[in-house]
Amino acid sequence: MHPQDWRKYLAELLGTFLLIFMGAGSVIIGQTFGTSDLLGVAVAHGLAIMVGIYAFAHISGAHFNPAVTIAMLATKRIRVMEGISYIISQFLGAALATLALKLIFVDLLVTEFGVPSLVGGLSPVSGIIIEAILTFVLVLVIFSVAIDQEKTRSNTAGLVIGSVILMDILVGGPLTGAAMNPARWFGPALISNVWTNWYVYLAGPLTGSLLAAALYQLVYLRKK
């Protein structure tokens, strides 16, 4: 391990902490006080991602999402051990953020800390498809505005990617919670001890991210 790699892992931990604290926090506030609607939740997630990208992209690449890291591993953009360390950092950041939320809201008898869930009547298979499509869109945009090495990286990448998060949550939030991110599910699930339909939030985002990475790598990058 390079002596400076710890800076990358800390950046991934902090960025994921920011995403989960603000994102799941907005869900908890909405459920507890009735002051945050779907748009508010979507904006909170989108802004958290945007801020995290501008703060940490130059250090770690600002993945903040195991599905994104898996896509980078699949296209050989990071080393295997580095990728594993990224994922561990992301899960740890998510757990710490949810633990902080639990400490804050403990006196309000909150028991579920923003765990994504399927709307009543939606099958797990449909949930996987929705999460896969939402994540596919997210990762495809990430490759386009932040990864593609054959064009100048956009200075507005954070704004664009944050907007995709916002858009995805507006569409998928009422259906699956629009996690698009195993860490976004894992932290709240761990602290809440709620594991219902856990496989939806692993299979969906990972499938979508790998399909998006393969499409961009094989069709667009290699064509150029």
Residue-wise pLDDT for 122-166, tens only, equals 999 999 999 999 999 999 999 999 887 555 556 889 999 999 999
pLDDT block averages, 10 residues each, the chain of length 224: 80 98 94 84 97 95 97 95 97 98 87 92 97 98 82 77 97 97 97 96 98 92 64
pLDDT in the model for residue 3: 56
Q: What is the DSSP string of the chain?
A: --TTHHHHHHHHHHHHHHHHHHHHHHHHHHHHHS---HHHHHHHHHHHHHHHHHHHHHHH----SHHHHHHHHHTTSS-HHHHHHHHHHHHHHHHHHHHHHHHHHGGGT----S---PPTT--HHHHHHHHHHHHHHHHHHHIIIII-TTSPPPTTHHHHHHHHHHHHHHHHHHHH----SHHHHHHHHHHHT--TTTTHHHHHHHHHHHHHHHHIIIIIITT-
Residue 158 neighbours by CB under 8 Å, 6+ apart = 49, 50, 51, 52, 53, 54, 57, 62
pLDDT in the model for residue 73: 96
State which residues form the domain around 129.
Answer: 5-221
pLDDT in the model for residue 208: 98
pLDDT in the model for residue 212: 97
Q: What is the DSSP string of 63-83?
A: --SHHHHHHHHHTTSS-HHHH
Domain count, the chain: 1
pTM over 0.85: yes
CB atoms within 10 A of CB 218: 11
pLDDT in the model for residue 224: 55
Domain of 71, CATH number, reads 1.20.1080.10
